[in-house]
Structure 1
Amino acid sequence: MPHAPDLDRNARLSVAPMMDWTDRHCRAFHRVLSREALLHTEMVTSAALVRGGATRLLDFDAAEHPVALQLGGSDPGELAEAAAMGAERGYAEVNLNCGCPSDRVQSGSFGAVLMERPALVADCVRAMREAVAVPVTVKCRIGVDEQDPEAVLPDFLARIADAGVERVTVHARKAWLQGLSPKENREVPPLDHPLVHRMKRRFPALHVSINGGIATLDDVEAQLDHVDGAMVGRAAYHDPAAILLRADSRVFGRPNPCAAPEDAALAMIPHIERHLAAGGRLHQVTRHMLGLFAGRPGARLWRRTLSEGGAKPGAGAAVLHEALAHVTRAAA
C-alpha cells in the first residue's frame, strides 16, 4: 500500500468521488487506464457504517490502489470509528466530505454545510487522525451561500491544517445550499481558480489540489503550475481515455499501462469474468465503460451494444467483444 509521500505524488491527478459512479467496478476500469492517479470511493456516510452496519460499502480490491475512502458525517466519534473501519479494510487514506450540497447531505449536517462550521470540521479530523495511521484529507468548497470566500476559505484551511490535515482538495466554486440542485451547484456558481492558487501560496506546506472545470489533460498540466494536484470529475467518467489513457506519462513520467482504448477494454475481461463468477451482472461493470471511445467512429454502437446487451440475463464477455468489433470495423 502506498505511504503518504507516494500519495502526495499520486494526488497530482485524482478522480473525484462521484455518487452512483465511482463504485469498485468504475475504479477497476480507471485503474486499467492509469496505474498512478489517486482514486476515490463514492461518499459513504459514517452513520451507514457505524450505526447501519453497511460494511459491504467498504468492499474493494487491492488492485484499485491507490484508493481513498470518502466519508460523510459530522460527529467526531462516529467519523473516527468509520475511519478506523476503512483503514482496517486497507484504504490508503480517508477523506472527509465538506463539499457536497445535496439536500440529503444538508439534512444530515455534513457536506458543504460544514463550511459554516470550521471548528467542528477541525474536531472531526483530529478525531479521525487519532483513530488511523493513514492520511486524513478534506475536500471542500470555497464557501457557501453569502459567505465571502476570501475570508472564509483561509480560515477554514488554517483550522484544518492546525488539526493535522496535510492535503486538501478545493472545489473552486461556492455551493448554494438553497435554490440550486446538486447538478446546478457543479455548474452555476462561477469558478474562482485564482483564489485556490492564492491559497496554495498562503499555505505552502499544505498539499492543495484543485477541482472544478478541469476537463482535459492540458487543463491538469496548466493547474500543476499553480497547485500540487488537480482533481477531475465528470470528464474522467464521460471521456475516460482523454483524461486517463496518457495520464501516467504526461503527469507522472511513468509508462502508460495501455497503448489504446481497445487495450483497456480487453484488460477489463478478467475483472468482468470474476464478477460474473461471483453472481454479478455484466452491466454493473460495463456501464462505467460507455465513454471509452467518446468521439470516435463506432462509439455509438459501442455504447448501444454494451447498454442493451450488458443488461440481458446471462450476458458475458462476448458482449464486450461484439461491442469492440463495432469500433474496430468503423476504424478500418
Structure 2
Amino acid sequence: MKFAWKIALLVVALLAFGAARLRFEAKLGGELRDAGLFPPPLEIGTREKIGQTSSAVALGGLRTLVATFLNLRAFTFFTEQRWDDVEGTFETIVDLAPRTRYYWETGSWHMAYNAASYYLNDSKLPPLRRREAWRSSILKGRSFLERGARNNPDDWSIHANLGFLLSDTNKFPAFRDPNETFAAAADAYRKSVETGRALGYVRRAWFYALARVEGREAEALEIARGLYADGTHNHTPTLLMLLLVLEAHENPSMDVAQRAIGLFGTPEKAYEALSSHWRRTRERFPVFGVAAGLESLEKTLAIPAEQSVFNEPPPPPMGPDEWFSK
C-alpha cells in the first residue's frame, strides 16, 4: 500500500512539474517569438506542402535548411516559367523562414518583375488576359512584400523595396490610383528611414514619392529643405527641381526663373533643368511654376520660338493601354 502511495505521489509530482514546465516554456516561447529569436510553429498546411521528411527536419530545428532546398526548387520553376509554382514555393519558404529578408525580396521580385514581364511580352495570350495577368503579378508582388514588412518591421530593406515597387514608373499604373500608390510608397520609405539602418538614398526616395502626393506638398517641402540643408550629397537634380517646384507651390508669386538660376548656377543650366523636368510626364512629378520659369528663361536666353520646349511634341504615352493594345 505504501509503495502504491509513493507511486501516486510521484505521478502527481511529475504531472505538476510538467504542467509548470509547459506554462513556462509556452511563455518563454512566446517571448522569444515576439523578440524575433524563435520562429512561429509550423502550420498544418505548411507541413503538408513540404512533405513528411522535410517536415520532420523542419520540426527538428532545421527550417532554414529546408527553405534553402525549396529556394533551389523555386529557381528551377523560374527557369521553366512556371509562375504559379514559383509563387507557391515562396509562400512555403517564408512560412519556414519568415525572418530571412532574401526570401521576401526574391519572391516579390519573381512575381512583380519576372512574371509581370513575361506576361507583358507573351504574345500567345490575348491582350486582355495578358494585361490582367501582368497586373495580378504586380499586385501579388506588392502583397508579398507587405507581408514581409509586417513580419520584419525593423528591416529597412524590405520597406525600401516596397517603396521602390510602388513608385516604379513601369509598375504603379497597375495600382490604378496614383495618389494612393505614391502615398503608400512614401509610407514604406518612411518606415525604412525610421529603422535607423536605411542607406542615404532612401530618405531622398521618401521625398520623391511624397512630392507626388496631392495635398501633402507642405510636408514634402519640409523634408526637401531638411535634405538640402544636410549637404551637397543630397543636391541631386531631381531634389533641387522638386524643391523649386514645391517652393513655387507654397509661394505662387515667387520668381521661379531667378530661384532656378540660384539653385542650378546659370540661366543655361536652369533652363536645361526646367526643360528636363517638363518632359518627365510619365513620372507624375508636380510642375508648379515650371511653365512660368521656362517662359522667363526663354526670353532671357533669346531662344527662338521654333526651338522652345513648348513646341516639342509631347512624349508618347507609355502605359498598359499602349503595352496591351495588340
Q: Which has the larger radius of gyration?
A: 2
User: Is TM > 0.5 for Structure 1 vs Structure 2?
Assistant: no
Larger fraction in helix = 2
Identify the TM-score tier after normalising by the shorter chain.
under 0.3
Give the TM-score, by structure 1 length.
0.26
